[in-house]
Every structure is written in C-alpha cells, then in structure tokens.
Amino acid sequence: MTMVAPTREALAIHGGTPARSTLLPYGRQTIDEDDVQAVVETLRSDWLTTGPKVAEFEEAFAAWVGARYAVSFSNGTAALHGAAFAAGIASGEEAITSPLTFAATANCILYQGGTPIFADIAADTLNIDPDGIPSLITSRTKALLPVDYAGRPADLERMLGIAAEHELTVIEDACHAIGAEYRGRRVGSISHMTVFSFHPVKHLTTGEGGMVTTNNEKFADTLRKFRNHGISSNARDRQRQAQYHYEMVLLGFNYRLTDIACTLGLRQLTKLRSNLARRREIAARYTSALQKIPGIIVPSVRDDVLPAWHLYPIRLDLSQLSVVRDEIFRALRAENIGVNVHYIPVHLHPYYRERFGYRGGEFPVAENAYQRLISLPMFHGMTDDDVQDVLDAVGKVASYFAR
Ligand SMILES: Cc1ncc(COP(=O)(O)O)c(C=O)c1O
C-alpha cells in the first residue's frame, strides 16, 4: 500500500495566498446610524459633559447588571483607580491580583502607593487561583482584584469567602466581562465593586469610558467624589440650585465621562444583549471546529459561568507543533487574521522587573500560558464568512506545522 503524504497548502508567510485579502482585526466596535444620530443630538444640547445623560447611563447600566449603584469614569483604568481609592488602598498596603492581565489592573494599586502582590492563575480558566491567595495575605493586605479573563468570571464565591474571613474588599476587574454570568447572576452585582471598560474592542463602547458598579452606598459616594476632583457636588446641580458654593473634601481627579460618551453608551446598551448572543455564537463555532485540530487547545469553561467572550484565547499544544507560538502568530498575521496575545504577564514588564526585582519563573502557570496563548478575532460585528476565514487559517497553519 502506498502512503500519501498530506498535502500542505503554502502559507502566506511563505508566499502562498492568504486566507483572506484584508486584515480581520481581533476586535472592533459596531456603530450604527442610531448611535450617530443620538450623539449628534447631544452635541446640539446644552450639556456636553456631566449633564442628564451621565445619570441616565449610570442608572440604565446599574439596572442592566443588577447593582444598586453605577458610577461612570473616563476609562476603565480611571475606574480601577477610583475603586482602589474607595477600597482604602494606601501607601504601604497591598492588594492581590492576577499576573495574566492588562497592566492597568495592577497599576491602580501603584497609583495609590500600594504594592501589587500577584497570585498565580488556575491552569484551566487562566483566572487567579484562590488556593494561592490565603498564604499571601498579611496585615497590609486591603483588597483582592480578580480579573474575569477573556470574559469568564473568576471564582467569585471563593474570593468573597476569603475576603470576608480577612476583612478585605473584592474589586473585580470585569473589563472583559460585561454581561457575563456567575452562578446565574450577572457580573457587576456580585463583588464589592466591579469595574468595566467601554474601550472600542469591548461589548459596548463609549470611545473611552469606564464604570464601577457596587451595592455599597459609601463606595458609590466616594467614587462620585473621586472622579470629580474630590468635590461633593456637580456643576449641573449647582446651576439648578443657583449655588456657587462647593467643597473639595478629598483629593480626587477629573475622571468624568462626558454626556457625549454617555449618549453613545445608552444607545450601545440597548444592543448589548444581541452583541453578547453573537459573541457566544462565534465562540461556540470556534470551539466546535478548533477542538478537532491537533495542537490547538480551546478555552475551557467551568459549569457555573456563562462567559461574555471579550477574547477567544486559544492555547497551543507545543508538543504537537514543530514551531513556537511566535511563528504561528506570524503565520496567522500573514494570512490576514489579526491575532493578538493577551497578555505578557504584568510582572515581566520592564517597569515591574526593575521596581520589584521579578526575573521570570515566579508565576509558572501564567508564564507557561503566556508562551502558548493566541487571541483569535472576536467581535460581535464578525460575519459568518469572517469566522470561517479564521477557522480556515488556523486549520491551514496548524496542519502545516503539525509534528
Ligand atoms: C483587564 C483589563 N483591565 C483594565 C483595562 C483598562 O481599561 P481602559 O482601556 O478602558 O482604561 C483593560 C483594557 O482593555 C483590561 O483589558
């Protein structure tokens, strides 16, 4: 019997025809005509910032996630800073977070003069592993900052349990997880404070924007002051009350979100449900096709969560491939698939290495995952053909480099 060697299609990186003719980004916004019209109306109104749309967006967002309060910020990073302040993180204190995240999660602790302490992640979800947390808690620990990586909620019940035992605040970084559910409840209604981002690659955009949701009135009050220079009233209320008097009661920032942005947010919120449904549909198609490809490990989902799928990060099984991640990454980019890598672990960035002496090897699960991660394009505006292009390209590249 003659053996026929599998035919291997020439990769674009080697001069072959790319899987698609134009670059498919890893994420992008969808702006409809009704979004544009609503923003134009606000531009013609009396209020460009901190007018009626801010309160309307905050109320609608709080209702959507099922929280009592929502406080908007100029971006997710500012919202994290606000939450770190409200949690009382201060100089000499510590907060525990995941190394596999965007630097902003840990930076907000530094903004407050505190020290980020990293706990390694769980190998299946790539979320912070609660088992590693208790041994890191000291008298200086103030907060836990789990990240809902890729839109899969962290183990929130364990986080809240540990927090209750040690009187800590849980600040959940849900910048990836608008609309995700944990044990049947929407993210945003569970942790002491939950932080969201409205960057254009997210499920809902305001250009730049962020939000903190909470059920705690004191936190909400502090957050409102913090994002407005530490001032206890806002300009619109003072105008309504014919008042000039205001008091600055704490050192805050100008982290306000504009009425223009909140108008866009309000329109985008009406489409969140369908955007989430589309992302879940794409994830299901990816998972069903990619789990059959040797060398590709699809993201795992625990039974008690419903992901929001901000990202769809595959991991490579390098034992089944003849090249490393960067080679696969370059090959997919050449196929015009806009892959990305989330994330370079925070402690490996030069700033963290220099300031805290990290050398690599401290968080083996996160570092090992990083070596093998590739985020595939994931956004609600992707067409079925876009999804197919991604699957074709991954299949082509993985079979080319199969061992
Ligand atoms: C996990 C995580 N935290 C925080 C942020 C910061 O959000 P923003 O870009 O709105 O400042 C991001 C941004 O993408 C993020 O992915």
Q: What is the pLDDT of residues 231-279, one digit of tens each?
A: 988 777 778 888 888 999 999 999 999 999 999 999 999 999 999 999 9
CA of 156 to the centre of ligand 1 (A): 19
Q: What local confidence, expressed as pLDDT, does residue 6 receive?
A: 52
Q: What value does the mean pLDDT of the chain take? A: 96
pLDDT at position 309 over 60: yes
- Active site includes 142? no
Query: In the predicted model, what is the mean pLDDT of residues 114-130?
Result: 98
pLDDT at position 220 over 90: yes
Read off the pLDDT band of 82 (50, 70, 90).
very high
Query: In the predicted model, what is the mean pLDDT of residues 44-72?
Result: 97
| Sign, Cα dihedral of 159, 160, 166, 169 | positive
Helix, coil or strand: residue 43? helix
Query: In the predicted model, what is the mean pLDDT of residues 290-308?
Result: 97
Q: Out of 190-199, 226-235, 330-339, 356-365, which region has the weakest mean confidence (pLDDT)? A: 226-235
CA of 102 to the centre of ligand 1 (A): 6
Could you read off the pLDDT of 368-394 as tens digits, one per residue? 999 999 999 999 999 999 999 999 999
- The length of the chain, given as a count of residues: 403
* Percent of the chain with pLDDT strictly greater than 70: 98
Read off the pLDDT band of 183 (50, 70, 90).
very high
Ligand 1 first shell, C-beta below 6 A = 75-77, 101-102, 104-105, 147, 173, 175-176, 197, 199, 210
CA of 323 to the centre of ligand 1 (A): 31
Residue nearest ligand 1's atom 10 by CA: 76
- Both structure tokens of 19: 């899987």
| Residue in this structure with the two tokens 């025809």, named with its chain if needed | 17
Q: What local confidence, expressed as pLDDT, does residue 4 receive?
A: 46
* Closest-CA residue to 255 (of 128, 83, 106, 114): 83
Phi, psi of 383 (to 5 degrees): -85, 170
Query: In the predicted model, what is the mean pLDDT of residues 185-209?
Result: 98
- Both structure tokens of 321: 């491939």
Q: What's the 3-state SS for 283-316?
A: HHHHHHHHCCCCCEECCCCCCCEECCCCCEEEEE
pLDDT at position 1 over 60: no
Read off the pLDDT band of 3 (50, 70, 90).
very low
Q: What local confidence, expressed as pLDDT, does residue 241 receive?
A: 85
What is the strand order of the sheet 185-186 is part of? 185-186, 181-182, 305-306
Helix, coil or strand: residue 346? helix
Q: Which positions ≥6 away from 253 have C-beta within 8 Å?
A: 78, 81, 226, 227, 229
* Closest-CA residue to 339 (of 7, 5, 99, 23): 23
Q: What local confidence, expressed as pLDDT, does residue 244 receive?
A: 87
Query: In the predicted model, what is the mean pLDDT of residues 174-187?
Result: 98
Question: For a substitution probing ligand 1, which of 28, 102, 208 has the most ligand atoms within 8 Å of its CB?
Answer: 102
Could you read off the pLDDT of 271-289 as tens digits, one per residue? 999 999 999 999 999 999 9
Could you read off the pLDDT of 348-360 as tens digits, one per residue? 999 999 999 999 9
Q: Which positions ≥6 away from 278 have C-beta within 8 Å?
A: 380, 382
